Every structure is written in C-alpha cells, then in structure tokens.
Amino acid sequence: MTDSLSPWMAAYLIGIAESFGAKYYDAPRHERPKKVQIVEFLTYPMDEQETAIWGRVSDKKHLVVVKFSADAVKDFNQCSSTRFTQNKGALIKISKFKPLFSKYPIGKDRMSTASAMCLDCQHVSLLGAASEPTFGKPTDVHQNSEIQAWSRGLAKDGGAGNILKERKEERDIEPASVKPLSQMAPPTPVIPIVAKVVERPRVQDVDWNSYAKQWKAFEAFMGPDGVVPALSRDEEKPVSKLTQGSSLHPRSDSVVEGSRSSPQMSKKGASEKQVSSQEGLRTSSQSLTAPTPAQRTKPINSHTPDQPFSSLPSLDETQVSPTRRIDMSRKVPRPVSPEPAREIIGPARVLVANSDIASQPTQLSQGMPETVVPWMKTSEILDILRSTTRHRLHNSEHT
C-alpha cells in the first residue's frame, strides 16, 4: 500500500501560488482524485450529526490540514458500512478540492493562533483498511520555504501574497541559463562546400605600342573635325613632282617604312630620295626655262651618301611631333586630290651662271597657282627653288 502513494501536495500548492497569487480563492476545484492517508481527525461530530469534519492527511512526504465538507461526509457514510471518523490510518481518495487559507481547530473549542494553508474537499472515497501505520516520515507542508513565504504574504495586507507569482514572472523574463560545456552536445561537423570554378575565356592584352606605331603616320595629320593641317616649317619636305598631283598616302607609307628601317637603310633611302627630289626640281625648272650647260648637275657619287646638302632637310630626318592620342572611332579622311598644275603665264626667263634668282622679277610667283601643292604656299616653293639653284651653282664652281 505504501508504494501506491506519491508526493503531490507541495507541487499543487506552489502551482496555485504562482498562477493566482493572493487570489488563490479564484482557482478552480481539482476534479481528478488524489490518494492520501488519513493521519488523524481534528474534530468529531456530536450526536451523530453530519457536519464538516477537520482532519490531517499525508502524501507520504508532507502533511496538510483538510476540511471535509458536510456533503462529503454524508456521501461517504451512505456508501460505506462504517462511519467516516472510524477510518483513521485508512487510504482514501479526495477530489473536488481547492486551497483554503484559514485557522483550523486543534482541540475541543480551540483554534490555531495563525492561519495556514489548508484544503477544502467536497468528495472522499475509501480505498484501504483502517488502522494502518503512517506511511513514510511526512512533515508539515509549511516547512517548504516557498509555501511558507506564500503563507506569510497572505497573512499580511497588500500584495505580499503574490510573491511566488512575481518570482515566476521574473524567471520567464530572464534568458535561459547557459548549459555547461559538459552537458552541451558536440557541434555537428561542418561539411565544406566545394565551389565549382567557372573557366571564362581570358581577354588578351592589347599591344598598345604596336597599335600606336600603326597610327603614328596619321597622327601628324589628325586634327579637330577631320581637318588635315598643313605641315609646319620644321616638317616641310621637297616633293618629287611639283606639276603633278599626288595623294598623301605614299608619304605616310614612307614615314612608316623610314621609322622601321635600320640606320644604313635610312641613309641609303635618304640619298635616293634626295636624288629623286633633285630630279623633280630639275624637271620643274626645265618646264619653266631651258637650263644652260653650266647649270646642269653632275651625278652624285655613290661613295659620298652622307654629304650634307646645305640646309635642306632630308626626308628621313623629319620626325613626327608627339601628340596625345585621341580616343575616337573615326578615321582620318582621305585628303582632297590637288588640282592639276595650271599653265604658267609670262615671259620665259633664262638663268645664267652666277645669277641670282632673287634679283629677277617675281612674275613666277604671280603665275604660279596656289593649288600646285595644296599643303605648301607659293612663297615656300620659291624658297626651295632658290636654295636648290644656289646649291647647284656652288657645286659647279668647285668642280
């Protein structure tokens, strides 16, 4: 029989205190039956009257005072062959009970000095025989610190009876306590994620040096709005044929080839270009007047290609001025083809030895059209002719 009892009274009272606090009387009655042992009766009815009876019961761990109502005693007496007060030490089941904070009787016409937490029971039934010894070593339920604090709070005025209710609310607000490392579960192993490398085609680096070399010949002619500027005084070059139109593309090709050739090839090319320029100038002079035998030049020796020619610049010595590359998608437009040379109007002039062309009238400049060489002025062409003539006369005197 002792194994059939299990402690429950302290947990029940603490649950009521945490839920209702000082308003314990609002708690509903507990309908499910609970097992207890009758330890003693505190009151007995007189003249077999069915009145409320006070007693003390145990759950094998705690003792609590119970008030059995008159209806509970009446129902028990009707269902049992013995009277209720004759079942001291018997195992019973109580139900329809709730907390009760009041004074209780401790003898004939005597009451307890202070109120205590009791149970108000409205139904009781018999389970075992009477006169059984007390199971376990139960103690008063008020020896529990929480129930004792609750009872003291209820004995005071104000809200002191809510002490256990407030403690529970504080525990709910506080964060959950951290478990010790020994109780914590081991961390789950981390599975590395293998990322797939996406191979993309590599963009080849642009060789800007080779790109700049390809456009180096055109940088000299680049200008705003597609205008082809005229050559400066430092970039003037003699043209092989003055009386015939020619495009700018052969000149650009020669500049590129001259920049890529070796020094020996550049010197050889310079001599060949100088010969062609002199032949062009001689042809232009013959178209104007017939030269005298003294004015005819002798062929240049092949072993003196490095002989300087006055102040006339050579073709391979011309350097394109460095300009900042402009990022634009347009290309240099093709230059306008020069118009054919016009017929020179005026009397013919015969050039003799030791004569200065500067002393003669400038009818040549008047008859020379401006469009013979579109990128050179007539005065510049005359300067070239004068310097060439002086150079030839100088060579003829020394030979």
Instruction: Tell me the per-residue pLDDT of 293-346, one tens digit each, with 9 for 90 and over.
Output: 666 665 555 544 444 444 444 445 555 555 666 666 656 666 666 665 555 555
DSSP at 332: P
Residue 46: its pLDDT value, please? 79
Confidence of residue 159 (pLDDT cuts 50, 70, 90): confident
Least confident stretch, 116-120, 257-261, 393-397: 257-261
Q: Which residues contact 51 (CB under 8 A, 6 or more apart)?
A: 45, 70, 73
- Count of CB atoms situated within 10 Å of the CB of 172: 7
Is the pLDDT confidence value at 64 over 80? Answer: yes
Signed CA dihedral, 383, 384, 387, 393: sign only: negative
Q: Who has greater pLDDT, 206 or 17?
A: 17
Q: How far apart are CA 158 and CA 196, in angstroms?
A: 71
The reported pLDDT for the residue numbered 4 is 81
The pLDDT value given to residue 135: 92
pLDDT bucket at 167, cuts 50 / 70 / 90: very high
Query: pTM for the whole thing?
Result: 0.45
Q: Mean pLDDT across the stretch 156-179?
A: 81
CA distance 230 to 377: 10
- Decide if pLDDT at 186 tops 70: yes
* Predicted local confidence at residue 221, as pLDDT: 60
Which two three-digit tokens encode residue 172?
């709910």
Higher pLDDT, 184 or 267: 184
CATH 2.40.50.960 in the chain, residue ranges: 2-173
Residues 6+ apart with CB under 8 A from 134: 37, 39, 58, 89
Averaged pLDDT for residues 39-54: 87
Q: What is the pLDDT of residue 75?
A: 92
Q: Are 350 and 247 in contact (CB under 8 A)?
A: no
Confidence (pLDDT) at 30: 96
Question: What are the pLDDT digits (tens) for 219-272?
Answer: 656 655 555 555 555 444 454 444 444 444 444 444 444 444 444 444 444 455
Q: What is the pLDDT of residue 366?
A: 47
Element at 393 (helix H, strand E): helix 378-398
Condensed to tens digits (0 to 9), the pLDDT of residues 269-293 reads 445 555 455 555 454 444 455 566 6
Fold of domain 2-173? OB fold (Dihydrolipoamide Acetyltransferase, E2P) (2.40.50)
pLDDT band at 354 (very low <50, low <70, confident <90, very high): low
Q: Taking all residues of the chain, what is their mean pLDDT, rounded to a whole number?
A: 73
Of the chain, the percentage scoring pLDDT greater than 90 comes to: 33
pLDDT-derived band at 385 (thresholds 50, 70, 90) equals confident
